[in-house]
Every structure is written in C-alpha cells, then in structure tokens.
Amino acid sequence: MDFEAWWLIVIPIVFCLGWVASRYDFRQMLSESRHLPDSYFKGLNYLLNEDHDKAIDAFVEVAKLDTETTELHFALGSLFRRRGEIERAIRVHQSLLNRADLSEKDQEQAKFELAQDYLKAGMFDRAETAFQQTLSGQYALASTRFLIRIYEATHDWPQAIEMVKHLHALLDEPVPQSVHYHCELVDQALMAKPPNLSVAHHELLQAEQALSQLDKSKQTAANARIAMLKAKIAQLENRPDEARVHLQRVLSVSPEYAGLVANSLLDNYCQTGEGEKGIQLLREHYRQYPSLDLFNVIFKYLRTQVGASPAWDFARESLMVSPSLLGLDKLLEVELKEEANKQPQILPELDINLLHKMIHKHTQRLDKYACRYCGFQAHSFYWQCPGCNMWDTYAPKRLEEL
C-alpha cells in the first residue's frame, strides 16, 4: 500500500486530541473530589478502620451537607443489618428519614428499610407500623409478605387472614397457608374453656372454602388436618360414628398421614367394642403405607390386648420388610412395660433392659420429624416449621424413614 504523506499530520493531531481529553477528565475528577465534604473521606477512613460508630456519624454529616449520598446510606444500612448490627442500621435509616429534602421515593425506601431493621430486631409492633406505611407503593408486595410473617410469629391469625386477602389481590392466585390460618383458629376455639364449637364450625367452613381454591397437589396435608379437626369436633359433640368417618377419610385421602390419627381411630373402635375390627383396618393400611408411628400403635395394641406372640409375629414380619432400629426400640419399650406389669416375657433368655438401653442411645437422633425446607428437627409433628415458619414442610415420617 502506498504511503500517504498526510498521515504524518493526522496521527499527531489524533494523539493531541486524546491527550487533551484525558487531561480534561482528570481535572474534572479533581474538581468533583474537591466538592466532596471532608466528612465523606473521614467516614471512609473510619469505616476502613472498623470504627463504625464514628463512620456513621461522619456519613450522617455528609448527608446534611450533600444530598447526593443517599445511596451510600442505603448500602451502609443494609450492610449493618446483614451483619446483625441492627442499632447501627436503624440509626442510618432514621437519619435519612429526618432529612427534609429527601425525595418521596427515597422516603418510601427508607421506611421499608427501617421496617426490616425493626423486624430483624424482633420489634414486631414497630415493624408492623412501618410496613403498613409502605403497603400502597412500590414495596406493596414485599411489605405484605413481611406483615404475614409478623402475624404468623405473633399468632394473630385474623390479621394474617386479612393480609393473605391483600396478597391474593396483588397476585391474583390462592395462598396455600390461608387454610392453616383458619385451622389455627379452630384449634384456639376448641382449646377454650368451654370449647367454642360455633366458632370452630365457622372457621372450619372457611378453611374448606380456602382449600377448594388450591390445586389438588397442594391439598394433601390440609385435607388431613381438616379431617382431624372435624373428627375432634364430632367427638366433643358426642358423635363417635361421624368422628370415625372423618378419621377414616385421612386413611383414604391422605394415607401417609395415617400415623397421626391411628391412636384416635383405634380408640374410637375400642369405645364401641370393635377393637379387633379397628386393628385389622390399621394392619391392612400398614401393608400399603408402612410408617413407624403406625407400627407403634399396632404393636402396642397387639401386645397389651391380644398377646405377646401375635405382637412379636407382627413385629418380626414388619421389621423384615422394613428394617428399623426405631421400630425395635419402641417394641422393646413396650415389652419392658409389660414385664413390669408381670406379663409373660416373650424373650426370657435376653436382658431386654440392657438391649433397650443400647438401641435407644443410637435411635434418639433418628426419632424426630424434620423440615424439608430448613432441616429443623423436632420430636413432635408440626404443620408449620418452628425454624423457618414454612407450612407443610414436615413429612409425617421420622428421620430414619426419610
């Protein structure tokens, strides 16, 4: 390619223009840095030295002098909240709200951030008030969810139901936990002295209506709980036949929850002198849906009401199909109680007490229910996990069975 002489002129011109532009940007940067308050650099220095209190004071001073630092404060407040330094986070967000020149958008964000600070600190009343102030803006959905968490934590089920209705209006989709809110109100009515059966019936009807709006895939646990509550109400109203129908419904509609109703169902049959019929029903269900809780109910009844040999025949057959240390531990526990009552021992040549102690030591950690969401373990079954507050995350099976 031929060399053009005018290139010797163009190249120096381009170089000079680039040099001038860089010098201009550098001077502009220096000019802008001179306009930053000294408190800004002091705050950064304190922050680097982990002197958080002085850093906050310095940044608050910056906010008073420069209105362009709100994002810095939001970032700083969120950082403190994540680190668990709630008092510092509250101070940051309150200082923003005290500014008269703060825009409406930033005021709403500051209120929302402050509400989260209060919630993290366990100050539910203040958090509730703050979240209610942001229910109609850009944080409406998030604030509604936080309010639901607050009402769940404080067991304020009527308010939780109202918030679920608000959430339903925002999302236009059913909220599964609303069924449990009404069931909780049923439990409260039944625990009153005397039981408030009219309220229980009303809330149970509301629970069924909420259940009808859910997909069938999400109805299993709620179906079981509603049937159990219906059976409890029927029993209190001296209607054992109706109670039996509801308990049997759990076996057909939510079969994996049979262990939760096995005792009540068997007691119902025993009250009418039909214990043999009841135990036969549970044994047939156990063959299809084995569970430790159901195993314990069946074995205990056979051992105490029928005899040692039938009980151990059932245990031997069951443990061969579904080996379980927990199952062996429970049946040894029953055997020890029968031995104390002078009943004939099925294993006379074995020190059952020693065997039970050895097995029980290793099964304590397995004899628990566990949350599928957060892993929280408990000896009792919960509809709502005490650890993460999620609903229907407890499987009706012990750890060993999962």
Q: What is the pLDDT of residue 133?
A: 93
The helix or strand, by DSSP H or E, that contains position 392, with its residue range, turns out to be none
Q: How many CA atoms lie within 13 A of 383 on its CB side?
A: 20
> Which amino acid, 298?
I
Residues sharing a CB contact under 8 Å with residue 343, sequence separation 6 or more, in sequence order: 308
Are the C-beta atoms of residues 119 and 146 closer than 8 Å to each other? yes
Which of these, 147, 250, 247, 157, lies nearest to 199 by C-alpha position?
A: 157
DSSP-assigned states of every residue in 105-135: HHHHHHHHHHHHHHHHTT-HHHHHHHHHTTT
Q: What is the pLDDT of residue 189?
A: 95
Sign, CA torsion 221/222/226/227: negative
Task: Report residue 172 as tokens.
Answer: 């236009």
Helix/strand number for the chain, H first, E second: 19, 2
Are the C-beta atoms of residues 326 and 363 closer than 8 Å to each other? yes
174-283 and 37-166 share a CATH fold? yes
Are the C-beta atoms of residues 388 and 152 closer than 8 Å to each other? no
Separation CA 105–CA 91 (nearest Å): 19
Separation CA 306–CA 303 (nearest Å): 6
Residue identified by tokens 């709100």 is 70
Task: Report residue 211 as tokens.
Answer: 């259940």
Annotated binding-site residues for Fe cation read 371, 374, 385, 388
Annotated binding-site residues read 371, 374, 385, 388
CATH number of 174-283: 1.25.40
Separation CA 120–CA 128 (nearest Å): 12
**Phi, then psi, of 371 in degrees rounded to 5:** -75, 130
Domain ranges of the chain: 37-166, 174-283, 290-367, 368-402
Burial class (CB in 10 A: 0-12, 13-18, 19+), 21: exposed
Which of these, 89, 23, 33, 101, lies nearest to 56 by C-alpha position?
A: 89
Tens-level pLDDT at each residue, the chain (402 residues) = 454 554 555 455 555 555 544 444 434 443 444 445 566 666 667 666 767 677 767 666 665 555 556 777 787 788 788 888 899 889 888 888 888 878 889 899 999 999 999 999 999 999 999 999 999 889 999 999 999 999 999 999 999 999 999 998 888 777 888 999 999 999 999 999 999 999 999 999 999 999 988 887 778 889 999 999 999 999 999 999 999 999 999 999 999 999 999 999 999 999 999 999 999 999 999 889 988 888 889 888 988 888 878 887 887 787 777 766 556 666 666 656 655 555 555 555 445 554 455 455 555 666 788 888 888 888 888 888 888 888 888 888 877 666
In CATH, what is the architecture of 37-166? Alpha Horseshoe (1.25)
Q: What is the pLDDT of residue 169?
A: 85
Which of these, 204, 141, 208, 149, lies nearest to 173 by C-alpha position?
A: 141
What single-letter DSSP state applies at residue 377? E
Task: Report residue 45 as tokens.
Answer: 């220095």
Are the C-beta atoms of residues 298 and 279 closer than 8 Å to each other? yes
Q: What is the pLDDT of residue 357?
A: 54
The helix or strand, by DSSP H or E, that contains position 4, with its residue range, turns out to be none
Task: Report residue 110 as tokens.
Answer: 């500051």
Q: What is the pLDDT of residue 67?
A: 54
Q: Show the CA angle centred on residue 332, arms to residues 326 and 333, nearest 5°.
A: 90
Q: Show the CA angle centred on residue 257, arms to residues 376 and 319, nearest 5°.
A: 90
Task: Give the CA distances from residue 123 to residues 48, 92, 107, 112, in Å, rounded to whole numbers and listed in that order.
Answer: 30, 17, 21, 14
Are the C-beta atoms of residues 253 and 223 closer than 8 Å to each other? yes
Which is it for strands 369-370 and 377-378: parallel, antiparallel or unpaired?
antiparallel
